């Protein structure tokens, strides 16, 4: 007897974009990319393999300055409890742990205890020893990065427990934990550690022990919490300050079979003809025509820039100050122009007559005044050093005043102080009203 087998379940492997009205299948649909459902997805069985796996733990400060406790990391032990075990302590010998500058990821050195000579390594944070500490050199580092953690799903974490420093005789020592928080990353997917999979709140008070409960805390036996420091049990709420970590990034990857009645997706075709065939990058072969370009970052032009219209630079630093009074400053004092009429970089001090550079590069400065019938010497000074001068050593006729002006280009760095200073003789400035007889100003020329 012959039978023709003509109907059987087929699998569909989707590795690229697919847009259809309806998919009907009696077999499996394997999706190796993302599944985006705009309306509803009805299934009899959905097998989900979540990718919330972390292999890197970070403890870091939320700020980086040189205050007395601002950057200090001075901790005893970090415990990550998974299935009743301490994940870090159980893998202490294979973890790679360092103090780092969080902004640059540059590795720093640990502190050496002055009284004992002990090196307070960052790895002390997980060495299953509650008698020593991890202590950074806080002027160079503000974070601990623990790498090579066994790949673990966040949903299996019961709790993370952080023990503050061992010596607890001073609240100041405990307060060093203020500003810290803990973040979990998958460094394989996120090599620059930019997007944490889970994060705790910033510590706001100096306490002995901190406990962060995750979803699997319900699987931990209720009678096994410890009211004392422990390497075998999770700290109790009596011992520790508790926080529930209930929000973290979630995603769904479908790597097995997907059985469903109907999937409704956008219609194939008409996928925006205005974008079809367009390249996704701008390179040396690209001609670009647009109405405007707006950027919040820096732009670099390697070739020539041709402008047929006008170039407006509204943020170019510049300042100008005049005077509302008649002033004859003494020798070795500043000529103070007390009336700033423009200062878009907020660098001029009308009380001292000094301008502090806020934006580096080359500056053009100008200044004007009048003599008082005697020989004189006036300097433009940069950080107290004469860069330019206007002077005369002639014996002037009595009551003869000279109108004087100086102009100079000066390379500057941020923080330089520019001032006009009388060195010899006698000079003065006066209010010319609308004419602005005398002034002091400058602008960045690049």
Taking the C-alpha atoms of residue 380 and residue 52, their distance in angstroms, rounded to an integer, is 63
State pTM to two decimals.
0.48
Residue 41 has pLDDT above 70, yes or no: no
User: Cα 16 from chain centroid?
Assistant: 36
Residue 107 has pLDDT above 90, yes or no: yes
Taking the C-alpha atoms of residue 57 and residue 89, their distance in angstroms, rounded to an integer, is 13
Taking the C-alpha atoms of residue 319 and residue 442, their distance in angstroms, rounded to an integer, is 6
Taking the C-alpha atoms of residue 359 and residue 319, their distance in angstroms, rounded to an integer, is 12
Return all residues near 400 (Cβ < 8 A) that are at least 6 apart.
Answer: 371, 373
What is the pLDDT confidence band of residue 264, given thresholds at 50, 70 and 90? Answer: low
pLDDT digits (tens, 9 = 90+) for 77-101: 999 999 999 999 999 999 999 999 9
pLDDT digits (tens, 9 = 90+) for 331-376: 999 999 999 999 999 999 999 999 999 999 999 999 999 988 888 9
What is the pLDDT confidence band of residue 432, given thresholds at 50, 70 and 90? Answer: confident
Encoded tokens for 375: 């020989």
Q: What are the φ/ψ torsions at residue 390 (nearest 5 degrees)?
A: -125, 130
Cβ of 316: how many Cβ atoms within 10 Å? 13
Mean per-residue pLDDT for 229-248?
A: 90
Burial of 411 (0-12, 13-18, 19+ CB in 10 A): exposed
Residue 39 has pLDDT above 70, yes or no: no
Q: Are the C-beta atoms of 341 and 441 separated by less than 8 Å?
A: no
Question: 419 forms bridges with which residues in the sheet?
Answer: 381
Look up residue 239 and give its DSSP letter.
T
Q: What is the pLDDT of residue 3?
A: 45
Taking the C-alpha atoms of residue 157 and residue 151, their distance in angstroms, rounded to an integer, is 12
Write out the DSSP string of 151-166.
PEEGGGEEEEEEEE-S
pLDDT digits (tens, 9 = 90+) for 185-228: 999 999 999 999 999 999 999 899 999 999 899 999 999 999 99
Listed by start position, the domains of the chain span 53-244, 318-444
For the chain, the 3-state helix, strand and coil shares in percent, each to the nearest 5, are 5, 35, 60
Taking the C-alpha atoms of residue 57 and residue 145, their distance in angstroms, rounded to an integer, is 6
Return the C-alpha torsion angle 240, 109, 189, 295, nearest 10: 100
Q: What is the pLDDT of residue 10?
A: 44
pLDDT digits (tens, 9 = 90+) for 144-183: 999 999 999 999 999 999 999 876 557 888 888 999 999 9
Q: Which of 178, 12, 145, 157 is nearest to 82 (CA)?
A: 157
Q: How much of the chain exceeds pLDDT 70, in percent?
A: 75
Q: Are the C-beta atoms of 24 and 265 separated by less than 8 Å?
A: no
Q: What is the pLDDT of residue 367?
A: 97
Q: Which of 425, 401, 398 is nearest to 330 (CA)?
A: 425
What is the pLDDT confidence band of residue 35, given thresholds at 50, 70 and 90? Answer: low
Taking the C-alpha atoms of residue 89 and residue 81, their distance in angstroms, rounded to an integer, is 10
Question: 13 forms bridges with which residues in the sheet?
Answer: 30
Q: Are the C-beta atoms of 391 and 376 separated by less than 8 Å?
A: yes
Taking the C-alpha atoms of residue 282 and residue 303, their distance in angstroms, rounded to an integer, is 15
Cβ of 315: how many Cβ atoms within 10 Å? 9
Q: What is the pLDDT of residue 306?
A: 77
What is 318-444's CATH number, 2.60.120.40, 2.60.40.10, 3.40.640.10, 2.60.40.2470? 2.60.120.40
Mean per-residue pLDDT for 225-243?
A: 95
Q: What is the pLDDT of residue 50?
A: 46
């Amino acid at each position: 007897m012959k039978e023709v087998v003509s109907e059987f379940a087929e699998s569909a492997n989707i590795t690229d974009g697919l847009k259809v009205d309806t998919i009907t299948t009696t077999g499996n649909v394997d999706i190796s990319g993302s599944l985006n459902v705009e309306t509803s997805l009805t299934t009899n069985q959905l097998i989900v393999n979540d990718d919330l796996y972390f292999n890197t733990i970070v403890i870091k400060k939320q700020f980086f300055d040189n205050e007395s406790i601002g950057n200090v990391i001075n901790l005893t032990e970090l415990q990550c409890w998974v299935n009743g075990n301490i994940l870090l302590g159980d893998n202490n010998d294979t973890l790679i742990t360092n103090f780092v500058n969080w902004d640059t990821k540059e590795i720093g050195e640990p502190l050496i205890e002055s009284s004992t000579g002990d090196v307070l390594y960052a790895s002390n944070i997980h060495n299953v020893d509650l008698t020593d500490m991890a202590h950074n050199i806080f002027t160079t580092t503000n974070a601990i990065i623990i790498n090579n953690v066994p790949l673990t799903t966040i949903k299996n974490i019961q709790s993370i427990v952080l023990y503050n420093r061992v010596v607890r005789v001073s609240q100041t020592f405990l307060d060093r934990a203020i500003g810290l928080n803990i973040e979990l990353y998958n460094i394989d997917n996120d090599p620059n550690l930019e997007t944490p999979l889970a994060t705790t709140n910033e510590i706001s008070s100096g306490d002995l022990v901190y406990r962060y409960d995750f979803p699997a805390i319900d699987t931990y036996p209720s009678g096994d919490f410890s009211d004392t420091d422990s390497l075998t049990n999770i700290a109790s709420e009596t011992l520790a300050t508790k926080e529930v970590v209930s929000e973290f990034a979630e995603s769904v990857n479908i790597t097995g079979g997907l059985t469903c009645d109907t999937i409704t997706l956008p219609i194939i075709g008409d996928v925006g003809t205005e974008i079809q065939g367009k390249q996704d990058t701008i390179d040396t072969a690209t001609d670009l025509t647009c109405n405007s370009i707006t950027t919040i970052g820096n732009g670099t032009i390697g070739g020539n820039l041709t402008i047929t219209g006008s170039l407006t630079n509204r943020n170019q630093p510049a300042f100008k100050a005049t005077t509302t009074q008649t002033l004859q400053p003494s020798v070795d004092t500043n000529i103070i122009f007390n009336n700033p009429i423009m200062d878009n970089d907020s660098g001029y001090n009308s009380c001292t007559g000094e301008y502090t550079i806020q934006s580096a590069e080359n500056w053009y400065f100008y200044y004007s005044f009048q003599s008082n019938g005697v020989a004189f010497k006036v300097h433009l000074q940069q950080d107290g050093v004469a860069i330019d001068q206007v002077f005369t050593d002639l014996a002037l006729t009595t009551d003869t005043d000279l109108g004087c002006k100086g102009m100079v280009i000066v390379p500057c760095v941020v923080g330089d102080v520019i001032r006009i200073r009388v060195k010899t003789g006698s000079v003065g400035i006066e209010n010319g009203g609308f004419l602005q007889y005398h002034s002091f100003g400058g602008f960045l020329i690049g």
